[in-house]
Structure 1
Amino acid sequence: MKHAAIQIDEGTDDDRPQAPSSVRVPHLTAAAFCLTAATRGAIERASSDRRLTRVKTEVSDGGIARLRRAFETRPTPSLLVVEVSTTGEALLNELDALAEICDPETKVVVIGAENDIALYRKLMKRGIAEYLVGTITPLAYVATVQKLFGQESATKLGKVYAFVGAKGGVGASTLAQNVAWTLAEEQASQTLLLDLDFRFGSAAVNLDLKPVTGLEKYVGEPDKLDAALLDRLIVQRGEYLSVLPGFDDALGDVDPAPNAVERLIEIARASFPHVVVDLPHEWSSASRDALTSADEVIVVAAPDLPNLRNTRALMERLRALRPNDAPPRVILNGCRVPRRKEIAADKFAKSIGVEACATIAFDPATFGAAAAEGRAIREQAPRSKAQGSVRDLAWKLTGPGRVRPRGRLRTLLGLG
């Protein structure tokens, strides 16, 4: 049966900034004393960053003198940040006086104007945790707090890619599943697919998996979730892809605890280089946690008015939740349906405030045949335009990775 080709098009070259570190900072208190509006603004914006959501920060005007008065009669927080205008010996004398009121566990970050290595060494010798020079940016502040308090595992944390549909039935789950399989197979990299639509997820059916029962017992008590338990609950699909399907009993009485999703993602990114999260089409605290903590968010929509409305609302909320991150990627799926009036990709992009939307053409034959067989597109039609679309998206998300050699035999067999 002949069917329309699938294409994925970007209106512009992908020049998105490199994603910052995923390290999250534990619960702690911080106080910042700023002399300039620029520093105050940077710290206030950084305080709403997804990596610092557990840090309660009090921002005030003033320098060291104001800081000393504020904490003369109360304990100092875990982190003190102070902007200074003095230099040389005068600054050292002020910091020596500050040391008299600081608790031993408090870490002090100084923001100054003097760029001098000798001064830096003297500050470090006095126990200052970090010295930042000049005007700081929100991400520079986030990186500093991560360095001082970040809960990073012994190995590099994996990247999390969260897929969410702007409306039910737009193909977000199918796209997430095929991107996960492509990352695993074509980059030969251990990848975990988290189907967080616990009750009605499609990962097990679409990938022909037999779920391991038991997830329901633990999502109500997230403290019991750990890496060893995750290993027992996941199902292996091929050499590199692991899948955590949803509940065995879709209509059971168990509801996930509020922080269960956040806990699952933290465990997953500590164990896998790539974590693909398939979110249900709903707005809940669990969805917000997943979308806030992900390194990349991919919003999948159809080119019509209801999807445009929902996508605009999602983008506005995500910009508020992720103020220091690149905007989510938007993919228009199932485009160019014959005789259907659609919103053009450039107009859709303009309406939601992004430069361009990727588009995937309507092709029910290819995707439908793969789903009917319980296979990924790469298994069902490896040389198809559909798989080319999925591959392009996977590489947009991760950049060049470790790729299997593409020998002549693999190419002839359509496996390369």
Structure 2
Amino acid sequence: MANFIVADDESIASRIRSVLSFHEPNAPKADVLPSALAVGRLAREGGAGVVVVALPADPAAALDLLARVAPAAGGRLLALGPTSDARFVLQALRAGVRDYLDKGDLEVELAAALKRLAEPKDAASLGRVVAVLGASGGAGASTIAANLAVALATDHRSAGLVDLKLETGDLAALLDLKPTFSLSDLCRNAATFDRVMLERTLARHESGVALLAAPARIADVTLVRAEGVARAIDLARAAFPYVIVDVDHTYREEQLAALRQADVLLLPLRQDFNSLRNAHRALEHLGRMGLAGERARLVVNRAGQAVEVPRAKVEEALGMKVAHSIPEDPRAVARANDNGVPVVLEAPASRAGRSLLQLARSLETSRPGDAPAERRGARAGWRPWRRVAAGRGAH
């Protein structure tokens, strides 16, 4: 199929045609269409290869042009314009643009977009989704999620990070990021947003982490729906080798959508009675829904405090082994969190930093089923922490 360029500026059209000719040497020479005639010509063609639109300077005119061209472009519409107005870029993507390109770097941006269009979709190359679910507050789940994402991004050049703590999300602060958009912006168009819209919504960290932030306003939380979360994670795992999701313990439908897609489910807890009780309740609930199984791993956080339930008692109460323990290291972790620099970057040689790096490496080397977990504690009505509680004062 023929490629088309929609442009009223001949010099811009010539530059676009040169890039298309270089990257698709066997394709017919791209036709240049004035914006006033583009819709009619594309409709008569009945199909097109790539359609590149050089947007007019007026935002209203640009969006009107995209809305008219998109239905005839067959899902391969590329828009070329300024990127200084992030909200305009998002509006353009919502109008049906496959990719939005920076006019100031035309050749590089268009070449990269053409490469993305040509990439085959290989299910085997999808990234792994790691859900981090603290059974109750104070387990340090968000700190663990942020550090795992940074550690994995450092090793793999990129990693996705999704903040599903919709009302209280801390991941942006933990990474010292100020996102322009959030998950709620994507979910406004849950049925139509694509990978390009996702990428434009992400906040980028220097480590290579790309954060899909929680809504900035409580009022926008209601916009986040299960189908939008599922689609965002699907697209993220196609873009990143690892996607870390910080899941809330509300077990609402949008949270369950993430848990259903997880390849690994990390369950952080502390070695105290309340955390142990809540972890048991969480495992019992997840087990009833078929969301635990062999992919679930216990991660003890802040281990080694003076008064705590012994590890053997934790394992007995929950009916599964502790997969990893992160030692108590309040000075290093608190300083890192306060500075908005994850401890694996701020203090990688600290006890917590080394342990979190080891946990990240374990996600790279293991697969679900490597260490089958025993589920003696999943029986309905069994309350093993009562025995733990009876002896906890001695520890």
Q: Is the 8 A contact 1:163 1:300 kept in 2?
A: yes
Distance 1:198 1:253, change over 3 A: closer
1:293 corresponds to 2:233? no
Match of 2:138 among 158, 169, 177: 169
| Partner residue, 2:246 | 278
Letter in 2 for 1:318: L
Question: Secondary structure of 2:191's match?
Answer: helix
**Size of the alignment, in residue pairs?**
247
Q: Aligned runs of 1:9-408 on 2, under 5 Å?
A: 153=122, 156-185=125-154, 187-213=155-181, 215-252=183-220, 254-322=222-290, 325-338=293-306, 340=307, 342-399=308-365
Distance 1:232 1:316, change over 3 A: same
State how far apart, in whole Å, the 1-side matches of 2:258 and 2:291 are. 16
Displacement, 1:324? 9.1
State how far apart, in whole Å, the 2-side matches of 1:328 and 1:214 are. 28
Q: Is the 8 A contact 2:149 2:160 kept in 1?
A: yes
Displacement, 1:214? 5.4
Q: Is the 8 A contact 1:348 1:357 kept in 2?
A: no
Distance 1:261 1:297, change over 3 A: same
State how far apart, in whole Å, the 1-side matches of 2:122 and 2:167 are. 31
Q: Deviations over 1:271-292 (max 9, x none)?
A: 1111000112322112222112
Displacement, 1:188? 3.0
State how far apart, in whole Å, the 1-side matches of 2:304 and 2:123 are. 48
Q: Is the 8 A contact 1:370 1:376 kept in 2?
A: yes
Letter in 2 for 1:161: V
Gaps of 5+ in 1: 1-151, 401-416
Q: Is the 8 A contact 2:186 2:198 kept in 1?
A: no
Question: Secondary structure of 1:375's match?
Answer: coil
State how far apart, in whole Å, the 2-side matches of 1:345 and 1:324 are. 21
Distance 1:239 1:176, change over 3 A: closer
Distance 1:212 1:360, change over 3 A: same
Distance 1:258 1:214, change over 3 A: closer
Q: Is the 8 A contact 2:159 2:209 kept in 1?
A: yes
Q: Is the 8 A contact 2:159 2:210 kept in 1?
A: yes
State how far apart, in whole Å, the 2-side matches of 1:336 and 1:202 are. 25
Q: Is the 8 A contact 1:195 1:278 kept in 2?
A: yes
Q: Is the 8 A contact 1:292 1:321 kept in 2?
A: no
State how far apart, in whole Å, the 1-side matches of 2:182 and 2:212 are. 11
Higher relative contact order (CA 8 A, sep 6+): 1
Q: Is the 8 A contact 2:181 2:202 kept in 1?
A: no
Displacement, 1:218? 3.0
Letter in 1 for 2:136: K
State how far apart, in whole Å, the 1-side matches of 2:348 and 2:330 are. 16
State how far apart, in whole Å, the 2-side matches of 1:297 and 1:346 are. 21
Displacement, 1:320? 4.0
Displacement, 1:253? 6.3
Letter in 2 for 1:372: D
Q: Structure 1 or 2: larger helix share? A: 2
State how far apart, in whole Å, the 2-side matches of 1:175 and 1:355 are. 19
User: Structure 2 length normalisation: TM-score?
Assistant: 0.58
Displacement, 1:216? 2.5
Identity of aligned residues (%): 30
Q: Is the 8 A contact 2:165 2:246 kept in 1?
A: yes
State how far apart, in whole Å, the 2-side matches of 1:253 and 1:211 are. 16
Displacement, 1:321? 3.8
State how far apart, in whole Å, the 2-side matches of 1:308 and 1:217 are. 36
Letter in 2 for 1:190: S
Q: After the TM superposition, which segments of 4 or more aligned residues of structure 1 sit over 6 Å from their partners?
A: none
| Partner residue, 1:9 | none
State how far apart, in whole Å, the 2-side matches of 1:228 and 1:169 are. 35
Letter in 2 for 1:350: E
User: Structure 1 length normalisation: TM-score?
Assistant: 0.56
